Structure 1
Amino acid sequence: MNFQLITDDTALNTLCIELKQHKWLAVDTEFMRQDTFFAQLALIQIATPTLAVYIIDPLSIKNLIPLWQLFSNTNITKVFHAARQDLEILYQQAECMPLPIFDTQIASVFLGLGDQASYARLIEKLCGENINKDQARTQWLDRPLLDEQLEYAAADVWHLAQAYPILLKSLTPTQRQAIQADFNNLTDPSLYRTEPAQAWLRMKPSSSLSNKQLGLLKHLAAWREEQAVTLNQPRKWIVNDEALIQLAKRPVREVQDLHKLNQFDGETIRQHGESLIRVLDKAMQDAENWPVAQKPITLSHEQQIVLQVLHAISQQVAHEQGIHLPNLTNKHELTALLLQQPSQLNHGWRELLLGKLLKQFINGQSHLRLVHKNKHEQPKLSLSTSAVDI
């Protein structure tokens, strides 16, 4: 496998002009994100449909605008595997979103590989080759890079460019349409913008938090987000989630009172104690902007029974498709579907694999039965499209 290393502005500009002729490009990135808030882009790899491979060194090139323009060219599909982190770093670097995209990890759900199929597993199934992962933990920001590091980086997109046409051919038009909804979600810029006022939504606080506690948490999370961006440090290096949630539940008035909270150590209090108290004071004065705590949804006895059936169907589908059930659906999404509220089960591959089945059952268009294939296997749930009352 041959590849070309691009390390200067002239070579990059020439390459981007050449790559415009292709309908799709396989793309991968190498980056480091161990001790920073923002990922540090180290390499960008591109492979063409003819399996020409290029490795672009962004640390050596002053003007990357031609590359960002290439990625923004809507006539060229950019093919990734597990695209979210690649899209995040490219968007934050260029402030423009690569469009359109194709994510082979999402599409591989229709190959029976589950929803989190590794790149190695995908390539083994589609191309019959084993991927060498020896350099997966390499220090990509070091220069000069060794030959084996560059060969590893090149191999990733070389294999991806081989796998994509095979995978695309295996999909039905309905499956392609379904995953397009997931691709559209992935390329929503709001996923990758740093918005301190929305930082609390990324956290997983208890559903029992009051309006006041949610209001305090919103201010605390916004403060931490601003600190993390300013210092370019991981959020947990500032204050971890558990500590902020505990402080929102048990707000204190003085710095010394932070020592009473078991989630705060002396170093955190020394560095950020006074700032945290100021944030709490400000949040207390902002009551009119506190989020409203969601009230638990109360289902009727009949709805609770139906919800249990929906969960059983979901378990069956998850097992058959090799998908971890929490990644397919959960009680909240099932409840929303039952009550005809917005749900992930109304979009993308989740709708195609599960949502349509559940909606048929809810609307009385199908019924459940147990199927016994033979006496040596456990019976399984099956949905029939002939409706009957239950």
Structure 2
Amino acid sequence: MLLIFLTARRVVLDFRRVMQTITDTDTLAALCGRLAAAPFVTVDTEFMRESTFFPKLCLVQVAGPDEAAAIDPLAEGLKLDPFLKLLRRKQVTKVFHAARQDLEIFLNLMGELPVPVYDTQVAAMVCGFGEQASYETLCARLAKATIDKSSRFTDWSRRPLSERQVTYALSDVTHLRTVYQKLEARIAKSGRAGWVAEEMATLTDKTTYVVEPREAWQRIRTRSHNPKFLAILRELAAWRELEARARDIPRNRVLRDEALLEIASDPPKDAAALARVRGFSKSMAEGRHGQAILSALARAEALEPAQYPRLDREPDRPKASGPLIELLKVLLKMKCDEHDVAQKLVATVDDLEHLAVDDEADVPALSGWRREVFGEAALALKRGELALAVRRGRLTAIPTGAREEPMPALAAAR
């Protein structure tokens, strides 16, 4: 009886250690001290962004090999410093799933990105799980676990959090341990660690996340290539970017894209003309916003034509490029199926369009492991050295010299 009681009590204690919510800095420091010795930790975040420029961090979930915890950054007095120190520790791999938004949050908090980083969504693409494999899919296939989605759209800023919310949040890091370990085993077996490392280098590049104010105009969709129009749009978008950051509100809460485009198309000369722009009132036009916009217009007007930005026009493609692009799509799918890797990771449609007209196009498909998987075959297809044929009911690529009467590639694709 005593043994049974002690065992049961140990189970309860272990369960509490495995799943806990941390609301004070001392407990967080103790946890991070233990996790600092682990080879990896899995990390996820819950945040809100509907009414702010920067994401508002509401919960951080972290798990090591033997324990997991939800960290409440909204708890009074809690400081995230011990956790941020853990994220900086190079001896510990930080494992995320679909990491970009999480990494943007930590970049804002730390001024730098966690290193080293491992994204299981990217690793899954390398392992043939398709494009942008969901966490639920990987959990089902690799961890044999089902995720309860009922708390997915919860308001994570409200307190207190329910037990169901915390359990749901922690499932994003507890099952991720198994997913990570199984993906790592597959990648090690296939010898594709270098493929994954190349993608992780992009994830840990600050330029992936930071938009310079003077480049913000490129986020706005416009059909105009007029250099002076683009110069005005650049100045307006840079002002809006800085204003949104300073006030921590979404860009469109400062001024909508449509209004920026209208102003750039027909620049108002004064506050009265600005007040006639859709979405502007007389008080806005005569106030601080109006003055800032008129100042931005004045800066654009003062530029020399050589200082105007330009959008590169797409070159005219040969008439044959359309069918060739379709052939390259067929070859890409075939090669990616053959190598069990997601197509999107190897080449995009835009890459194929450039490759169709330029054998030396500056696209990822013509360098590194992508060239081995697809690039060389694509160039051979273009040179007529490779044909697509159906053999035993399966599409295959064969050297044209291996056939007495090479089949036209387009016919093969059909």
Write out aligned runs for 1:96-135 (5 A): 96-135=112-151
- CA change 1:217–1:319 in 2 (3 A) is farther
Q: Distance in 1 between matches of 2:221 and 2:369?
A: 25
Given the two structures, how large is their TM-score scaled by the length of structure 1?
A: 0.85
Query: Are residues 259 and 296 of structure 1, via their aligned partners in 2, closer, same or farther at CA, if it must alter by over 3 Å?
Result: farther
Deviation at 1:150, TM superposition (A): 1.0
The alignment partner of 1:170 has SS state of: helix
Alignment of 1:168-247 (within 5 A): 168-171=184-187, 172-206=189-223, 208-247=224-263
Bigger mean CA offset, 55-64 vs 119-128: 55-64
Match of 1:281 among 286, 294, 298: 298
1:86 to 102, 111, 115: 102
Residue 26 of structure 2 aligns to which amino acid in structure 1?
T
- 8 Å contact from structure 1 (residues 74, 100) kept in 2: yes
Q: What residue in structure 1 maps to residue 4 of structure 2?
A: none
Partner Cα separation in structure 1 for residue 368 and residue 284 of structure 2: 48
Instruction: Report the 3-state secondary structure (helix = DSSP H, G, I; strand = E; otherwise coil) of the residue aligned with 1:130.
Output: coil
Cα deviation for residue 190 of structure 1 reads 2.1
Equivalent residue number for residue 69 of structure 2 = 54
**Shift of residue 240, structure 1, vs aligned partner:** 2.7
Q: Work out whether residues 209 and 249 of structure 1, in 8 Å CA contact, stay in contact via their aligned partners in 2.
A: no
Whether 1:369 aligns to 2:369 is no
How far did 1:115 drift? 1.9
Give the one of 290, 296, 310 matched to 2:328: 310
- Greater shift, 188-197 or 213-222, is seen at 188-197
Question: What percentage of aligned pairs have identical amino acids?
Answer: 31
Q: Equivalent residue for 2:7?
A: none
101-110 or 251-260: bigger deviation: 251-260
Query: 1:148 maps to what in 2?
Result: 164
| Letter matched to residue 378 of structure 2 | L
Provide closer, same or farther for how the CA distance between residues 211 and 111 of structure 1 changes in structure 2, counting only shifts above 3 A: same
**Aligned equivalents of 1:6, 1:273: Cα separation in 2:** 47
Cα distance in 1, alignment partners of residues 38 and 374 from structure 2 = 36
The letter for the 1-side match of 2:387 is L
What is the DSSP-based 3-state SS (H/G/I as helix, E as strand, rest coil) of the residue aligned with 2:73? coil
Counterpart residue number, 2:182: 166
Alpha-carbon separation, structure 2, partners of 1:92 and 1:109: 28
- Partners of 1:313 and 1:323 in 2: how far apart? 13
1:368 to partner: Cα distance? 2.4
Partner of 2:92: 76
Distance 1:247 1:313 in 2: 46
Relative to structure 1, is the Cα distance of residues 186 and 11 closer, same or farther in structure 2, using a 3 angstrom cutoff? Answer: same
Deviation at 1:284, TM superposition (A): 1.5
Q: Answer yes or no: is the 8 Å Cα contact 1:73–1:99 preserved in 2.
A: yes
Work out the CA distance in 2 between the residues paired with 1:332 and 1:110: 19
In 1, Cα distance between equivalents of 2:401 and 2:197: 31
Partner secondary structure for residue 57 of structure 2 = strand
Partner residue of 2:284 out of 242, 246, 270: 270
Q: 1:200 to 1:318 in 2, by over 3 A?
A: farther
1:159 Cα offset (Å): 0.7
Whether contact under 8 Å (1:80, 1:103) holds in the other structure is: yes
Once residues 128 and 215 of structure 1 are traced to their aligned partners in structure 2, the CA distance between those partners, rounded to angstroms, is: 54
- Structure 1 gap ranges (5+): none
| Distance in 2 between residues matched to 1:14 and 1:91, nearest whole Å | 24
- Judging changes above 3 Å, is the alpha-carbon distance between structure 1 residues 352 and 168 closer, same or farther for their aligned structure 2 residues? farther
SS, match of residue 59 in structure 2? strand
Does structure 2 conserve the Cα–Cα contact (< 8 Å) formed by 1:197 and 1:219?
A: yes
CA RMSD of aligned residues (A): 3.3
Unmatched 5+ stretches in structure 2? 1-14, 409-414
Residues 311 and 334 in structure 1, CA contact (< 8 A), matched pair in contact too: no
Q: Which residue of 2 aligns with 1:137?
A: 153
- 1:33-59 residue CA offsets vs partner (Å, 9 max, x unmatched): 111000011111111123x11211222
Partner residue of 1:341 out of 361, 382, 387 = 361
CA contact 1:307–1:338 (8 Å) conserved in 2: no
Structure 1 residue matching 2:156: 3-state secondary structure: coil
Q: How far apart, in 2, do the equivalents of 1:134 and 1:268 lie? A: 47
Q: Distance in 2 between matches of 1:348 and 1:139?
A: 44
Seen in structure 2, the aligned counterparts of structure 1 residues 332 and 34 have a Cα distance that, compared at 3 Å, is same
Range moving further from structure 2, 339-348 or 234-243: 339-348
Structure 2 match to 1:292: 310
Query: 2:372 & 2:252 partners in 1: Cα distance?
Result: 37
Instruction: Please say if residues 239 and 268 of structure 1, whose CA atoms lie closer than 8 Å, have aligned partners that are also in contact.
Output: no
Supply the distance in 2 between the matched residues of 1:90 and 1:268 (Cα, whole angstroms): 41
What's the CA shift string for 1:200-236, capped at 9, x where partnerless? 2333333x51222221221111111011101111112
Which range is displaced more, 173-182 or 159-168? Answer: 173-182
